[in-house]
C-alpha cells in the first residue's frame, strides 16, 4: 500500500496516522507540491490533490471536500472501528467542523512558516500557488497575524477540550475517525516546530500524546 503525499499536509497526516495505528504495511511517496503528475496519472486524470492511496491496482482518492473516501476504504479493508454506525451523523458534523473551523487556522499558521519545511527549490512554486489561491502576500500576512490566528485556533478547540473532560477520546473510549481527523489538523499546526498546543487545554495535550502513539493493539487487549 502506498500513500502519495506531502509530509506536512494535514489530510495526509490524517491518513498516515490511521495506517500507523492499524499496523498496516505501507510506503510513503513524497511528491513536490509543484509536481502533481504522479497523482494525475494514477487517478487517470481525475484528481491532482493529495493524499492519494494506491493498494495494488486499486487507487483511492477523495471525491469532494467533505468526503472521507480514503479512510473509509482503509476501514473496509482492516476494520479499525473508525466509523461505527452509532456515530454516523455526529462524526459527519464533527469532521466538517474540524476540516473547516480548525483547519482554516491551523494550516495558515503552519504555511506562514513554509520556508522552514518546504525545500528551497520548491519555495517559489509554493508561494505562487498559495498567492494565486489566497491573494498576494497571504503568507506574510498570516505570519504577521499569528497572534490573532492562535487566539482563533484556541477558541475553536474549546469544544474538544470539553468533550475530553468525560472520556479518553472525542466520542467514547477508543479513537474514531474524528480523533484522527483532529490529530491531523493539529499535527500540521505543530509541523514547523514553532508552535505548541494551547496550555489552557491540558486534556487536548494528553489526548494528542495518546493519539500520537496508540496502535490498534492498545484498544483490542
Distance CA(97)–CA(83), nearest Å, equals 17
Q: End of a domain among 78, 98, 122?
A: 78
Pair 197, 103 in one domain: yes
pLDDT exceeds 80 at position 33? yes
**pLDDT at residue 221, as a whole number:** 65
Give 106-130 pLDDT, tens digit per residue. 999 999 999 999 999 999 999 999 9
Cβ neighbourhood burial of 20 (10 Å; 0-12, 13-18, 19+): middle
Distance CA(31)–CA(8), nearest Å, equals 11
Pair 202, 123 in one domain: yes
Pair 117, 14 in one domain: no
Confidence band of 220 (pLDDT split at 50, 70, 90)? confident
Pair 125, 213 in one domain: yes
Pair 22, 106 in one domain: no
Q: What is the CATH number of the domain that holds 93?
A: 1.20.1050.10
Residue 202 belongs to domain spanning = 85-219
Q: End of a domain among 20, 52, 78?
A: 78
Q: End of a domain among 25, 52, 78?
A: 78
Distance CA(52)–CA(133), nearest Å, equals 22
Percent of the chain clearing pLDDT 90 (strictly above): 98
What secondary structure does DSSP assign to 85-105, as a single string?
GGGHHHHHHHHHHIIIIIHHH
Pair 92, 70 in one domain: no
Pair 214, 126 in one domain: yes
Give 66-116 pLDDT, tens digit per residue. 999 999 999 999 999 999 999 999 999 999 999 999 999 999 999 999 999
Is 221 in a helix, a strand, or coil? coil
pLDDT exceeds 70 at position 159? yes
Cell digits for 41? 496519472
Pair 189, 96 in one domain: yes
Give the chain's mean pLDDT: 97
Pair 108, 175 in one domain: yes
Pair 113, 196 in one domain: yes
Number of domains in the chain: 2
pLDDT exceeds 90 at position 151? yes
Pair 175, 113 in one domain: yes
pLDDT exceeds 70 at position 43? yes
Contact 211, 179 (CB under 8 A): yes
- Both ends of the chain: CA-CA distance in Å? 26
Pair 74, 90 in one domain: no
Contact 49, 42 (CB under 8 A): no
Q: What is the CATH number of the domain that holds 18?
A: 3.40.30.10
pLDDT exceeds 80 at position 189? yes
Amino acid at each position: 500500500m502506498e500513500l502519495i503525499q506531502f509530509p506536512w499536509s494535514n489530510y495526509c497526516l490524517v491518513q498516515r496516522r490511521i495506517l500507523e495505528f492499524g499496523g498496516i504495511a505501507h510506503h510513503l511517496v513524497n511528491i513536490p507540491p509543484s509536481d502533481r503528475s504522479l497523482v494525475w496519472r494514477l487517478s487517470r486524470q481525475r484528481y491532482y490533490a493529495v493524499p492519494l492511496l494506491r493498494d495494488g491496482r486499486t487507487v483511492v482518492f477523495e471525491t469532494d471536500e467533505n468526503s472521507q473516501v480514503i479512510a473509509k476504504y482503509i476501514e473496509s479493508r482492516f476494520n479499525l472501528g473508525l466509523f461505527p454506525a452509532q456515530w454516523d451523523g455526529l462524526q459527519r458534523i464533527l469532521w466538517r467542523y474540524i476540516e473547516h473551523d480548525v483547519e482554516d487556522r491551523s494550516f495558515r499558521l503552519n504555511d506562514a512558516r513554509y520556508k522552514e519545511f518546504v525545500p528551497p527549490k520548491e519555495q517559489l512554486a509554493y508561494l505562487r500557488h498559495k498567492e494565486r489561491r489566497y491573494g498576494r502576500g497571504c503568507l506574510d500576512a498570516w505570519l504577521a497575524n499569528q497572534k490573532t490566528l492562535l487566539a482563533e485556533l484556541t477558541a475553536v478547540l474549546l469544544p474538544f477540550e470539553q468533550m475530553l473532560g468525560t472520556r479518553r477520546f472525542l466520542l467514547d473510549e477508543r479513537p474514531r475517525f474524528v480523533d484522527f481527523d483532529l490529530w491531523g489538523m493539529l499535527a500540521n499546526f505543530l509541523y514547523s516546530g514553532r508552535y505548541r498546543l494551547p496550555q489552557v487545554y491540558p486534556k487536548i495535550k494528553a489526548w494528542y500524546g495518546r493519539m500520537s502513539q496508540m496502535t490498534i493493539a492498545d484498544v483490542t487487549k
